[in-house]
């Protein structure tokens, strides 16, 4: 095992925390671009950090931010320099191995869920996310997706809203009344 | 007497006992589902406990942590996929055993040895932490700063990926932790004039994004892979097997505690070192190592669970996490108003003993759940990913929202999820990011304290380092880690090896 690499060939996609992605001797599609973006981002952050308090005092609010962004920039440049020298992995494409359609679709669905969370409320937004997602990923019928999606949503809502008392956006659903009714049901009508 | 009462808190409160049991159960099973790691389980589940009182929340978290470290070994044995970094070494002999149809025996030995290692780790924690905490009271600010740097560097270099990527990840975490208003001067840092950024970026959002969403997105690529069925037979190991390996397990447990107690090194390094130790000291293994030797299971499993107790030592006494999971635990303790560090032991010694009690309980539950419920276990492992992944995504969103009731945190979480997805693909370790976010404040505060007390004089600062044995040792360690990644070091090691070789030949 080389000091510079502790992953294994089977899990180059980072399937497990224990085995980070990437290859030792070659670069994956998009890896050089990602490294370049990190280097540019680090440069911008270093510039911003310099703007906090400049070099006025070693104990200034900007000194640690400057030090860490400088470390980011130096390491990002070192990574970039190493990455662009490596040959590309044979047989991998960006569309298939790094960013397949299913990942893009689900990431967009998640973003949509996030956007609808407050205006619609948790339950309707989660329903709109969960049922089509299960249908899309499992390839099974709407009946299965509806049953599994609704069932698990009900379980999650009961656990988190009632047991963990997590406040979730109620949106268009009369949630407070529902919670009250459920509590009334469980307390057996005690006053 | 107070300590004993505090220690027994969990046993005397059925509610806490139930939560530790529930947490351990969840930890074992989430750790056992291929692809779902304990870090992910801890990061998503703890976000729901922030509105709770501190004791129930800690009980649940400790259960998840203890169960998760153990649960990771299941997938290592059955599928050759370590569920957690600490289970890498377990796969080396566990998987060959499963291939021979001895999965039940492998799981049984793993469970009993994890329990044994866990107990030793907790015992050392209980004995050593008060002394370490006394010692830590004499630490200077610069020592804390050096410890934080050392911790991030060690996680970056030893656990996963390359050191330079580890340094990048750690620095990124430190920068994320610095976003917002500076607590001393109220100067804006990295806010880009956006008022929303003045409060900083929620650590929970970063954590759930990096460990929850990014992992779920990665798993999408394996959504159609078939669930693996394994026949598991007899699971409770015979007393003879346990007795035979007791001496080795004692040795590897102590390796585990010591490695776990070093800041920055956790169960993964402990397990690998223990495996190496077992290979050296075992003259006649049951089978050759790597081909299904029981010794190759005993060593890493005792060590990684012993490392849990060990990792709590720097976490509780210094406030320095050993790995990503302890970093998350520290963050959770902060949110509950506890400040892990030497003062915690002085101001709230009871809290320490409650935590020790919860660890002991979680360890017992781990043994119970590990040896029973096999049928349920196989059902859970076979859950279709097409259902599991959307549910994890849903829980991630609920978790991110729940902490501050803020939809902004949800967006941050999604952003870091996508970013973490690419980091995983390209081999950037995520652990150092979380460590960096957690340690950012500690590093910043202590650097400023140190340099102000030296009147802004770098010469005096370095003089202080050179004249204090502790600071000197820490500095040398930091420098050595850097040097170890340069060609200079490799040349030196090569020359040393040659000389030894010549010496042996002569």
pLDDT digits (tens, 9 = 90+) for A171-180: 777 777 777 7
Chain B interface disruption, residue of A7, A18, A54, most B CBs within 10 A: A18
Residue B41 in this model has a pLDDT that exceeds 90: no
**Which of A18, A52, A53 shows the shortest C-beta gap to B82?**
A18
User: In a 10 Å sphere around its CB, with 0-12 CB exposed, 13-18 middle and 19+ buried, how is residue B330 labelled?
Assistant: buried
Q: Per residue in A57-96, pLDDT tens?
A: 888 899 999 999 999 999 999 999 999 999 988 888 888 8
Partner residues linked to B180 by β-bridges = B189
Q: Among the three residues A39, A73, A96, which one is the final residue of a domain in this structure?
A: A96
User: Given pLDDT bands bounded at 50, 70 and 90, which one contains residue B220?
Assistant: confident
* Cα torsion B258, B262, B265, B267: sign: positive
- Asked whether residue A79 falls in the same domain as residue A37, the answer is yes
Chain-chain contact of B405 with A167 (C-beta, under 8 angstroms): yes
How far apart, in whole angstroms, are the C-alpha atoms of residue B228 and residue B469? Answer: 54
Q: Per residue in B226-246, pLDDT tens?
A: 555 666 666 788 888 888 888
Cα–Cα separations (whole angstroms), residue B419 to B40, B317, B328: 16, 33, 19
Cα–Cα separations (whole angstroms), residue B384 to A106, A144, B393, B458: 17, 13, 15, 59
Looking at beta carbons, which residues of chain B come within 8 Å of A3? 163, 484-485, 490
How far apart, in whole angstroms, are the C-alpha atoms of residue A74 and residue A82? Answer: 12
* Cα torsion B24, B25, B28, B34: sign: negative
Cβ–Cβ under 8 Å, residues B184 and A61: yes
Chain-chain contact of A103 with B424 (C-beta, under 8 angstroms): no
Provide the shortest C-alpha distance from residue B407 to chain A (in Å).
7
How far apart, in whole angstroms, are the C-alpha atoms of residue B188 and residue B180? Answer: 6
Looking at beta carbons, which residues of chain A come within 8 Å of B171? 68-69, 71-72, 75
Residue of A nearest to B446 (CA): A59
Residue A7 in this model has a pLDDT that exceeds 50: no
Q: Quote the tokens at residue B205.
A: 């959002």
Q: Among the three residues A47, A76, A96, which one is the final residue of a domain in this structure?
A: A96
Residue B120 in this model has a pLDDT that exceeds 90: yes
Is A56 a domain residue? yes
How far apart, in whole angstroms, are the C-alpha atoms of residue B183 and residue B186? Answer: 6
Looking at beta carbons, which residues of chain B come within 8 Å of A130? 390-391, 394
DSSP states of B358-387 as a string? HHHHHHHHHHHHHHS-HHHHHHHHT--HHH
- Asked whether residue A125 falls in the same domain as residue A170, the answer is yes
How far apart, in whole angstroms, are the C-alpha atoms of residue B3 and residue B16? Answer: 18
DSSP secondary structure letter of residue A16: B
User: Given pLDDT bands bounded at 50, 70 and 90, which one contains residue A191?
Assistant: very low
- 0.90 surpassed by complex ipTM: no
Cβ–Cβ under 8 Å, residues B10 and B63: no
Looking at beta carbons, which residues of chain B come within 8 Å of A107? 217, 414, 417-418
Cα–Cα separations (whole angstroms), residue B96 to B242, B292, B317, B504: 20, 5, 40, 35
Chain-chain contact of B168 with A138 (C-beta, under 8 angstroms): no
**Which of B185, B389, B440 shows the shortest C-beta gap to A137?**
B389
**Which of B37, B168, B444 shows the shortest C-beta gap to A79?**
B168
Chain-chain contact of A35 with B162 (C-beta, under 8 angstroms): no
Q: Per residue in B352-406, pLDDT tens?
A: 899 999 999 999 999 998 888 766 766 666 677 788 889 889 988 888 888 788 8
For chain A, give the percent of residues with pLDDT over 70.
86
Is A2 a domain residue? no
Chain A interface disruption, residue of B22, B162, B197, most A CBs within 10 A: B162
Q: Quote the tokens at residue B79.
A: 């599928």
* Cα torsion A43, A46, A51, A57: sign: negative
How far apart, in whole angstroms, are the C-alpha atoms of residue A17 and residue A40? Answer: 27
Q: Per residue in B255-264, pLDDT tens?
A: 999 888 887 6
Query: What CATH number is given to the structural domain containing A70?
Result: 1.10.287
The CA dihedral of B467, B471, B474, B479, to the nearest 10 degrees, is: -50
Q: Among the three residues A61, A96, A131, which one is the final residue of a domain in this structure?
A: A96
Is A191 a domain residue? no
pLDDT at B127: 92
Q: Quote the tokens at residue B93.
A: 């002999």
- Asked whether residue A13 falls in the same domain as residue A78, the answer is yes
A 10 A CB-CB count for B101 gives 12
Average pLDDT of span B1-24: 86
**Which of B192, B391, B458 shows the shortest C-beta gap to A152?**
B391
- Asked whether residue A18 falls in the same domain as residue A82, the answer is yes
Count how many pairs of residues, chain A against chain B, have C-beta atoms within 8 Å.
243
How far apart, in whole angstroms, are the C-alpha atoms of residue B160 and residue A20? Answer: 7
pLDDT at B106: 87
Chain-chain contact of B397 with A113 (C-beta, under 8 angstroms): yes
Chain-chain contact of A130 with B268 (C-beta, under 8 angstroms): no
Q: How many domains does chain A have?
A: 2
Chain B interface disruption, residue of A64, A67, A122, most B CBs within 10 A: A64
The CA dihedral of B158, B162, B165, B171, to the nearest 10 degrees, is: 20
pLDDT at B227: 56
DSSP secondary structure letter of residue B236: S
pLDDT at A79: 92
Provide the shortest C-alpha distance from residue B298 to chain A (in Å).
20
Looking at beta carbons, which residues of chain B come within 8 Å of A128? none
Instruction: Output phi, psi for B341, to 5 deg.
Output: 155, 175
Chain A interface disruption, residue of B89, B218, B394, most A CBs within 10 A: B394
Give residue A66's domain range: 9-96
Chain-chain contact of B426 with A22 (C-beta, under 8 angstroms): yes
Cβ–Cβ under 8 Å, residues B297 and B113: yes
The structure tokens 């304290």 sit at: B449
Average pLDDT of span A147-162: 87
- Asked whether residue A87 falls in the same domain as residue A116, the answer is no
Residue B49 in this model has a pLDDT that exceeds 90: no
How far apart, in whole angstroms, are the C-alpha atoms of residue B416 and residue B414? Answer: 5
Determine the length of chain B.
506
For chain B, give the percent of residues with pLDDT over 70.
91
SS3 B181: strand
Chain-chain contact of B425 with A17 (C-beta, under 8 angstroms): no
Residue A129 in this model has a pLDDT that exceeds 90: yes
A 10 A CB-CB count for B51 gives 13
Cβ–Cβ under 8 Å, residues B334 and B145: no
Chain A interface disruption, residue of B33, B426, B445, most A CBs within 10 A: B426
Partner residues linked to A88 by β-bridges = A27
Is A4 a domain residue? no
């Amino acid at each position: 095992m080389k000091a510079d690499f502790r992953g294994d060939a089977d899990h180059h996609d980072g399937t497990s925390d224990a085995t980070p992605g990437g290859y030792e001797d070659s670069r994956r599609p998009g890896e050089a671009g990602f490294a370049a973006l990190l280097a540019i981002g680090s440069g911008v952050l270093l510039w911003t950090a310099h703007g906090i308090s400049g070099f006025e005092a070693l104990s200034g609010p900007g000194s640690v931010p400057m030090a860490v962004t400088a470390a980011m920039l130096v390491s990002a440049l070192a990574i970039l320099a190493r990455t662009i020298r490596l040959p590309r992995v044979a047989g991998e494409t960006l569309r298939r191995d790094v960013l397949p359609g299913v990942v893009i679709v689900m990431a967009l669905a998640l973003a949509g869920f996030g956007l609808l969370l407050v205006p619609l409320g948790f339950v309707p937004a989660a329903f709109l996310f969960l049922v089509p997602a299960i249908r899309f990923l499992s390839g099974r019928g709407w009946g299965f997706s509806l049953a599994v999606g609704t069932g698990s949503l009900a379980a999650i809502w009961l656990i988190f809203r009632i047991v963990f008392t997590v406040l979730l956006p109620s949106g268009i659903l009369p949630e407070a009344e529902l919670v009250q009714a459920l509590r009334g049901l469980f307390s057996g009508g005690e006053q | 007497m107070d300590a004993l009462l505090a220690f027994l808190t969990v046993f005397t409160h059925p509610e806490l006992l139930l939560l530790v049991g529930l947490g351990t159960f969840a930890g074992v099973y989430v750790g056992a589902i291929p692809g779902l790691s304990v870090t992910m389980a801890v990061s998503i589940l703890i976000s729901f406990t922030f509105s709770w009182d501190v004791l129930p929340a800690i009980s649940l978290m400790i259960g998840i942590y203890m169960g998760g470290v153990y649960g990771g070994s299941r997938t290592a044995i059955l599928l050759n996929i370590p569920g957690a970094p600490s289970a890498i070494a377990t796969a080396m002999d566990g998987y060959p055993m499963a291939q021979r149809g001895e999965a039940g025996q492998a799981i049984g030995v793993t469970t009993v040895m994890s329990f044994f290692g866990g107990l030793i780790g907790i015992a050392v924690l209980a004995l050593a932490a008060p002394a370490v905490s006394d010692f830590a009271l004499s630490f200077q600010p610069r020592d804390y700063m050096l410890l934080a740097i050392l911790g991030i560097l060690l996680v970056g270099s030893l656990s996963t990926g390359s050191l330079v990527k580890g340094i990048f990840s750690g620095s990124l975490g430190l920068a994320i932790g610095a976003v917002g208003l500076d607590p001393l001067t109220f100067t804006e840092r990295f806010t880009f004039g956006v008022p929303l950024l003045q409060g900083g970026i929620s650590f929970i959002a970063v954590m759930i994004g990096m460990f929850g969403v990014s992992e779920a997105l990665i798993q999408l690529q394996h959504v159609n892979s078939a669930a693996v069925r394994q026949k598991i037979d007899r699971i409770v190991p015979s007393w003879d097997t346990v007795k035979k390996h007791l001496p080795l397990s004692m040795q590897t447990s102590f390796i585990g505690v010591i490695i776990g107690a070093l800041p920055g090194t956790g169960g993964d390094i402990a397990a690998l070192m223990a495996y190496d130790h077992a290979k050296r000291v075992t003259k006649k293994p049951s089978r050759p190592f790597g081909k299904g030797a029981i010794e190759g299971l005993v060593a890493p499993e005792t060590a990684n669970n012993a490392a849990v107790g060990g990792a709590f030592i720097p976490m509780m006494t210094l406030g320095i996490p050993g790995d990503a999971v302890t970093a998350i635990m520290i963050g959770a303790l902060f949110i509950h108003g506890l400040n892990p560090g030497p003062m915690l032991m002085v101001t709230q010694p009871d809290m320490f003993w409650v935590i020790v009690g919860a660890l002991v309980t979680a360890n017992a539950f781990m043994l119970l759940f590990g040896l029973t419920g096999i049928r349920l276990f196989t059902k859970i492992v076979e859950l279709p990913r097409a259902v599991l992944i959307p549910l994890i995504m849903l829980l991630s969103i609920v978790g991110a929202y729940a902490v501050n009731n803020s939809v902004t945190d949800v967006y941050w979480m999604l952003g870091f999820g996508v970013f973490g997805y690419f980091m995983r693909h390209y081999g950037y370790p995520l652990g150092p990011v979380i460590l960096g976010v957690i340690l950012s404040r500690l590093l910043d505060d202590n650097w400023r304290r140190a340099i102000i007390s030296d009147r802004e004089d770098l010469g005096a600062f370095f003089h202080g380092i050179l004249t204090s044995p502790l600071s000197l040792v820490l500095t040398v360690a930091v420098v050595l880690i850097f040097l170890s990644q340069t060609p200079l070091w490799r040349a030196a090691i090569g020359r040393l090896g040659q000389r030894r070789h010549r010496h042996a030949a002569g």
